[in-house]
Amino acid sequence: MRKLLAVFAMVIVLVAVPMSGLAASPAPELFGSASFTATGAQLTSDTAVTPGYAGIDFPAFAGMTLSSLTSLGADYQMMTGDCFGGAPRYTISLSSGHHIFVYFGDAPNYQCGTSPRSQSNLLSPNVDTSQIPGGTFYDTWDHALSLAGSETVTDLAIAVDGGWGSGGTQVVDISSASINGTTYNFVPPTSMDQCTNGGWQNYANPTFQSQAACIVYLRIQHMHQGLQQLCNQFGNPWFCSRIENWGFSGFY
Protein backbone atom coordinates (compact mmCIF):
# COMPACT_ATOMS: atom_id res chain seq x y z
CA MET A 1 0.00 0.00 0.00
CA ARG A 2 2.87 2.42 0.74
CA LYS A 3 4.19 1.81 -2.73
CA LEU A 4 0.81 2.62 -4.26
CA LEU A 5 0.47 5.83 -2.23
CA ALA A 6 3.96 6.87 -3.29
CA VAL A 7 2.98 6.41 -6.94
CA PHE A 8 -0.12 8.58 -6.50
CA ALA A 9 2.01 11.27 -4.87
CA MET A 10 4.39 11.25 -7.83
CA VAL A 11 1.49 11.74 -10.25
CA ILE A 12 0.31 14.78 -8.30
CA VAL A 13 3.81 16.29 -8.49
CA LEU A 14 4.00 15.68 -12.22
CA VAL A 15 0.69 17.32 -13.08
CA ALA A 16 1.63 20.33 -10.95
CA VAL A 17 4.37 21.35 -13.41
CA PRO A 18 3.67 24.91 -14.69
CA MET A 19 1.93 25.03 -18.03
CA SER A 20 2.81 28.59 -19.00
CA GLY A 21 4.05 29.22 -22.49
CA LEU A 22 3.06 30.46 -25.90
CA ALA A 23 -0.07 28.85 -27.31
CA ALA A 24 0.34 27.13 -30.64
CA SER A 25 -1.47 28.39 -33.76
CA PRO A 26 -4.91 26.91 -34.48
CA ALA A 27 -4.54 23.14 -34.43
CA PRO A 28 -5.65 20.87 -37.28
CA GLU A 29 -9.23 19.62 -36.95
CA LEU A 30 -10.55 16.20 -37.93
CA PHE A 31 -13.85 15.84 -39.77
CA GLY A 32 -16.03 13.06 -41.12
CA SER A 33 -14.90 9.50 -40.35
CA ALA A 34 -11.50 10.55 -39.01
CA SER A 35 -9.90 9.66 -35.70
CA PHE A 36 -6.56 9.86 -33.94
CA THR A 37 -4.78 6.57 -33.29
CA ALA A 38 -1.33 5.61 -32.02
CA THR A 39 -0.13 5.56 -35.64
CA GLY A 40 -1.50 8.95 -36.65
CA ALA A 41 -4.69 10.46 -38.01
CA GLN A 42 -6.71 7.67 -39.60
CA LEU A 43 -9.03 8.79 -42.40
CA THR A 44 -11.70 6.39 -43.65
CA SER A 45 -13.99 6.50 -46.66
CA ASP A 46 -16.47 3.62 -46.40
CA THR A 47 -19.48 3.54 -48.70
CA ALA A 48 -21.43 1.59 -46.08
CA VAL A 49 -20.79 4.08 -43.26
CA THR A 50 -22.08 7.66 -43.17
CA PRO A 51 -20.75 10.18 -44.13
CA GLY A 52 -18.43 8.21 -46.44
CA TYR A 53 -15.55 10.67 -46.24
CA ALA A 54 -12.94 11.93 -43.79
CA GLY A 55 -10.34 14.62 -43.55
CA ILE A 56 -8.08 17.01 -41.67
CA ASP A 57 -8.72 20.74 -41.83
CA PHE A 58 -5.86 23.24 -41.34
CA PRO A 59 -7.49 26.50 -40.17
CA ALA A 60 -4.15 28.22 -39.54
CA PHE A 61 -3.73 28.79 -43.28
CA ALA A 62 -7.11 30.28 -44.08
CA GLY A 63 -6.74 33.92 -45.09
CA MET A 64 -3.40 33.65 -46.86
CA THR A 65 -3.09 34.31 -50.58
CA LEU A 66 -2.57 31.35 -52.87
CA SER A 67 0.81 32.76 -53.93
CA SER A 68 1.97 32.42 -50.30
CA LEU A 69 1.57 28.65 -50.45
CA THR A 70 4.91 27.07 -51.33
CA SER A 71 4.79 23.42 -50.23
CA LEU A 72 2.36 20.67 -49.23
CA GLY A 73 3.79 17.42 -47.93
CA ALA A 74 2.70 14.30 -46.08
CA ASP A 75 3.96 11.08 -44.52
CA TYR A 76 1.28 8.44 -44.88
CA GLN A 77 0.38 4.81 -45.53
CA MET A 78 -2.63 3.33 -47.25
CA MET A 79 -4.08 0.75 -44.84
CA THR A 80 -7.04 -0.38 -46.97
CA GLY A 81 -7.37 0.14 -50.70
CA ASP A 82 -5.13 2.43 -52.72
CA CYS A 83 -5.10 6.06 -53.72
CA PHE A 84 -8.11 6.32 -56.01
CA GLY A 85 -10.64 8.76 -57.38
CA GLY A 86 -8.55 11.77 -56.47
CA ALA A 87 -8.10 10.71 -52.85
CA PRO A 88 -6.27 11.23 -50.62
CA ARG A 89 -5.64 14.84 -51.64
CA TYR A 90 -5.13 18.35 -50.39
CA THR A 91 -8.09 20.54 -51.31
CA ILE A 92 -7.34 24.26 -51.58
CA SER A 93 -10.55 26.30 -51.50
CA LEU A 94 -10.40 29.82 -52.93
CA SER A 95 -12.34 33.02 -52.42
CA SER A 96 -13.77 32.72 -55.96
CA GLY A 97 -15.49 29.47 -54.95
CA HIS A 98 -13.11 27.38 -57.06
CA HIS A 99 -10.88 24.59 -55.75
CA ILE A 100 -7.42 23.31 -56.56
CA PHE A 101 -6.76 19.62 -55.92
CA VAL A 102 -3.33 18.30 -54.98
CA TYR A 103 -3.27 14.52 -55.18
CA PHE A 104 -1.24 12.07 -53.11
CA GLY A 105 0.70 9.39 -54.99
CA ASP A 106 2.68 9.37 -58.20
CA ALA A 107 1.62 11.08 -61.42
CA PRO A 108 0.08 10.39 -63.84
CA ASN A 109 -2.17 7.78 -62.22
CA TYR A 110 -1.70 8.95 -58.61
CA GLN A 111 -1.48 5.50 -57.09
CA CYS A 112 0.29 5.06 -53.76
CA GLY A 113 0.69 1.35 -53.00
CA THR A 114 0.54 0.00 -49.46
CA SER A 115 4.05 0.82 -48.19
CA PRO A 116 4.73 3.89 -46.04
CA ARG A 117 5.17 6.97 -48.22
CA SER A 118 6.85 10.31 -47.67
CA GLN A 119 6.20 13.09 -50.17
CA SER A 120 7.82 16.39 -49.26
CA ASN A 121 6.09 18.64 -51.80
CA LEU A 122 3.00 17.45 -53.66
CA LEU A 123 2.76 20.75 -55.55
CA SER A 124 5.28 19.22 -57.97
CA PRO A 125 5.06 18.02 -60.68
CA ASN A 126 1.33 18.65 -61.14
CA VAL A 127 -1.82 20.00 -59.52
CA ASP A 128 -5.42 19.88 -60.70
CA THR A 129 -6.73 23.36 -61.62
CA SER A 130 -9.54 22.09 -63.86
CA GLN A 131 -12.18 23.93 -61.79
CA ILE A 132 -10.56 27.28 -62.57
CA PRO A 133 -11.16 28.93 -65.99
CA GLY A 134 -8.05 28.22 -68.05
CA GLY A 135 -6.92 25.40 -65.78
CA THR A 136 -6.20 21.75 -66.55
CA PHE A 137 -6.08 18.40 -64.74
CA TYR A 138 -2.30 18.15 -65.16
CA ASP A 139 -1.26 21.71 -64.43
CA THR A 140 1.92 23.19 -62.98
CA TRP A 141 1.97 25.16 -59.76
CA ASP A 142 3.45 28.15 -61.58
CA HIS A 143 0.51 28.19 -63.97
CA ALA A 144 -1.92 27.79 -61.07
CA LEU A 145 -0.44 30.92 -59.52
CA SER A 146 -0.77 32.80 -62.79
CA LEU A 147 -4.47 31.92 -62.79
CA ALA A 148 -5.32 32.53 -59.14
CA GLY A 149 -2.22 33.59 -57.22
CA SER A 150 -3.87 36.71 -55.81
CA GLU A 151 -6.94 34.87 -54.52
CA THR A 152 -7.45 34.21 -50.82
CA VAL A 153 -7.31 30.65 -49.50
CA THR A 154 -10.56 30.15 -47.56
CA ASP A 155 -9.85 26.57 -46.52
CA LEU A 156 -7.04 24.01 -46.73
CA ALA A 157 -7.70 20.35 -45.95
CA ILE A 158 -6.64 16.77 -46.59
CA ALA A 159 -9.64 14.78 -47.81
CA VAL A 160 -10.36 11.08 -48.35
CA ASP A 161 -13.54 10.12 -50.23
CA GLY A 162 -12.48 7.44 -52.72
CA GLY A 163 -14.01 4.42 -51.01
CA TRP A 164 -16.62 4.19 -53.76
CA GLY A 165 -13.97 2.99 -56.21
CA SER A 166 -11.51 1.27 -53.91
CA GLY A 167 -13.42 -1.88 -53.05
CA GLY A 168 -15.90 0.08 -50.96
CA THR A 169 -13.36 1.13 -48.34
CA GLN A 170 -10.37 3.45 -48.41
CA VAL A 171 -8.31 3.95 -45.25
CA VAL A 172 -5.13 6.01 -44.88
CA ASP A 173 -2.99 6.74 -41.84
CA ILE A 174 -1.46 10.22 -41.93
CA SER A 175 1.54 10.30 -39.57
CA SER A 176 2.44 13.90 -40.42
CA ALA A 177 1.57 16.75 -42.75
CA SER A 178 3.78 19.68 -43.68
CA ILE A 179 2.59 23.01 -45.03
CA ASN A 180 5.03 25.78 -45.93
CA GLY A 181 7.66 24.12 -43.74
CA THR A 182 5.36 23.78 -40.72
CA THR A 183 5.07 20.13 -39.71
CA TYR A 184 2.08 18.69 -37.89
CA ASN A 185 2.83 15.38 -36.21
CA PHE A 186 -0.18 13.13 -35.69
CA VAL A 187 1.83 10.43 -33.88
CA PRO A 188 2.28 11.35 -30.18
CA PRO A 189 5.81 12.18 -28.96
CA THR A 190 7.84 9.40 -27.36
CA SER A 191 10.95 11.20 -26.11
CA MET A 192 11.80 14.46 -24.29
CA ASP A 193 13.92 15.61 -27.25
CA GLN A 194 10.80 15.80 -29.36
CA CYS A 195 9.33 18.37 -26.95
CA THR A 196 12.32 20.74 -26.84
CA ASN A 197 13.49 23.49 -29.24
CA GLY A 198 9.91 24.26 -30.24
CA GLY A 199 9.10 20.67 -31.13
CA TRP A 200 6.05 20.71 -28.86
CA GLN A 201 4.36 23.13 -31.26
CA ASN A 202 4.31 20.55 -34.06
CA TYR A 203 2.06 18.00 -32.36
CA ALA A 204 -1.61 17.63 -33.13
CA ASN A 205 -2.29 14.33 -31.32
CA PRO A 206 -2.40 15.65 -28.68
CA THR A 207 -1.78 19.39 -28.89
CA PHE A 208 0.32 21.18 -26.27
CA GLN A 209 0.29 24.71 -24.89
CA SER A 210 3.97 24.73 -23.92
CA GLN A 211 7.17 22.72 -23.80
CA ALA A 212 6.45 21.94 -20.15
CA ALA A 213 3.05 20.51 -21.08
CA CYS A 214 4.64 18.22 -23.67
CA ILE A 215 7.17 16.97 -21.10
CA VAL A 216 4.43 16.42 -18.52
CA TYR A 217 2.51 14.39 -21.11
CA LEU A 218 5.50 12.09 -21.60
CA ARG A 219 6.07 11.74 -17.86
CA ILE A 220 2.43 10.85 -17.35
CA GLN A 221 2.60 8.26 -20.13
CA HIS A 222 5.68 6.72 -18.53
CA MET A 223 4.00 6.86 -15.13
CA HIS A 224 0.91 5.20 -16.53
CA GLN A 225 3.06 2.39 -17.89
CA GLY A 226 4.60 1.99 -14.43
CA LEU A 227 1.16 1.94 -12.80
CA GLN A 228 0.04 -0.70 -15.25
CA GLN A 229 3.02 -2.82 -14.25
CA LEU A 230 2.02 -2.43 -10.60
CA CYS A 231 -1.51 -3.42 -11.49
CA ASN A 232 -0.20 -6.56 -13.18
CA GLN A 233 2.02 -7.25 -10.17
CA PHE A 234 -0.51 -6.75 -7.35
CA GLY A 235 -3.75 -7.50 -9.20
CA ASN A 236 -5.76 -5.09 -7.03
CA PRO A 237 -9.16 -4.65 -8.82
CA TRP A 238 -9.82 -1.19 -7.37
CA PHE A 239 -6.36 0.09 -8.29
CA CYS A 240 -6.44 -1.44 -11.77
CA SER A 241 -9.87 0.05 -12.51
CA ARG A 242 -8.60 3.52 -11.55
CA ILE A 243 -5.67 3.18 -13.96
CA GLU A 244 -7.95 2.16 -16.82
CA ASN A 245 -10.33 5.06 -16.22
CA TRP A 246 -7.78 7.82 -15.66
CA GLY A 247 -7.78 10.58 -18.26
CA PHE A 248 -4.95 13.08 -18.40
CA SER A 249 -5.91 15.23 -21.40
CA GLY A 250 -6.80 18.16 -19.17
CA PHE A 251 -3.27 18.39 -17.85
CA TYR A 252 -1.71 19.39 -21.18
The structure's pTM equals 0.81
Q: Which residues contact 28 (CB under 8 A, 6 or more apart)?
A: 41, 56, 57, 58, 59, 177, 184, 186, 204
pLDDT bracket for residue 16 (50, 70, 90): very low
pLDDT single digits (tens) 226-239: 666 777 777 666 66
pLDDT over 90 at 100, yes or no: yes
Q: Is 7 exposed, middle or buried (0-12, 13-18, 19+ CB in 10 A)?
A: middle
Beta bridge partners of 26: none
Per-residue pLDDT at 245 exceeds 60: no
Domains defined along the chain, listed by start: 2-20+209-251 (no CATH), 29-187 (2.60.120)
pLDDT classification of 35: cutoffs 50, 70, 90: very high
The pLDDT assigned to 246 comes to 55
